[in-house]
Amino acid sequence: MSEPILELRGINKSFGPVHVLHDIDLTVNPGEVTALVGDNGAGKSTLVKCIAGIHPTDSGEVLFEGQPTHIKGPRDAAELGIEVVYQDLALADNLDIVQNMFLGRERTKAGLLDETDMEQAARKTLASLSVRTVKSVRTQVSSLSGGQRQTVAIAKAVLWNSKVVLLDEPTAALGVAQTRQVLDLVRRLAEQGLGVVLISHNMNDVFEVADKIACLYLGRMAAVVGSKDVTHGQVVELITAGRSGDLGIARPEAATI
């Protein structure tokens, strides 16, 4: 197996008295989809936000390509090549696809926006992901369907030669056909050699695209297993009880303290 691109060691995070993440260890390998599963409130989104630099971590180490790094803000994460696609999309409705994809990192020529260059780059990226449902890259985001928006959000993440893409429930609130598109897209990201972290509640999605599954239980990493080594039922048990047979936290009672 190749060297992990992103490695978390002993991450802790509290919001005031609430200890949300306990000693989280996680490795993300390039070319692999790592699914991050867990019940509501298990800390999935918090973990992603810690990696993305939105929340500072209390303790623990983050290694990127083997080097220890300190991610202090979204810009640091972006500079390393970590991109996040959020649950609530984070697209500006009143801008078009190109404007959204380059938001905050516009290409300029002599201080002015280089629209044609950005438009061409956006089209190239969408085409490389075989996105075919968007008619024109100058369409306003407000007139796109949910699946198309998710596609744009993901394409935005890959535009930056990123190395790790974190997807926070990309298929929630999508129809069957649209979910299909997004999952294909997720698979394609991994095939392009990116490290992909996928948060999902949907076991079918997880088993379809993930290479390994990391289960969070009440802020602890219950188990990290290969998706071929476990069954549906085992993962559900890990999510709901934190253990399943030999897998998971030894004494789940301890975790509730």
Smallest distance, Å, CB 111 to another protein? 7
Amino acid at 249: I
Instruction: Provide, rounded to whole angstroms, the least separation between the CB of residue 91 and another protein.
Output: 6
Q: Answer yes or no whether residue 173 interacts with another protein by CB under 8 A.
A: no
Residue owning tokens 């202090």: 72
- Position 191 contacts another protein (CB under 8 A): no
> In the bound complex, what is the minimum distance in angstroms from residue 17's beta carbon to another protein?
25
Tell me the HSE value of 35 on the side-chain side, using a 13 A CA sphere: 29
Q: Pairing mode, if any, of strands 212-217 and 220-226?
A: antiparallel
Is residue 92 at the binding interface for another protein, with CB under 8 A as the rule?
Answer: yes
Hey, what are 77's tokens? 């994460």
As a whole number of angstroms, the distance between CA 163 and CA 51 comes to: 13
Q: Which window, 13-21, 69-77, 197-205, 230-238, contacts another protein (CB under 8 A)? A: 69-77
Q: Which of 3, 15, 72, 120 binds another protein (CB under 8 A)?
A: 120
- Binding status of residue 204 toward another protein by CB under 8 A: no
Strands 164-168 and 82-85: parallel
- Considering only residues 41, 59, 94, 250, which one is a binding residue for another protein as defined by CB under 8 A? 94
List the one residue from 17, 66, 111, 245 that touches another protein (CB under 8 A): 111
Task: Give every CB contact of residue 132 below 8 A, 6+ residues apart in sequence.
Answer: none
Token pair 């990309």: residue: 170
Among 15, 72, 103, 233, binds another protein (CB under 8 A): 103
CA–CA separation, 89 and 173 (whole Å) = 12
The C-alpha atoms of residue 151 and residue 124 are separated, in whole angstroms, by 14
Binding site for another protein (CB under 8 A): 54, 73-75, 78, 84, 86, 88-95, 99-100, 103-106, 108, 111-113, 116, 119-120, 123, 126-127, 130, 132-138, 140, 142-145, 147, 175, 177-178, 180-181, 184
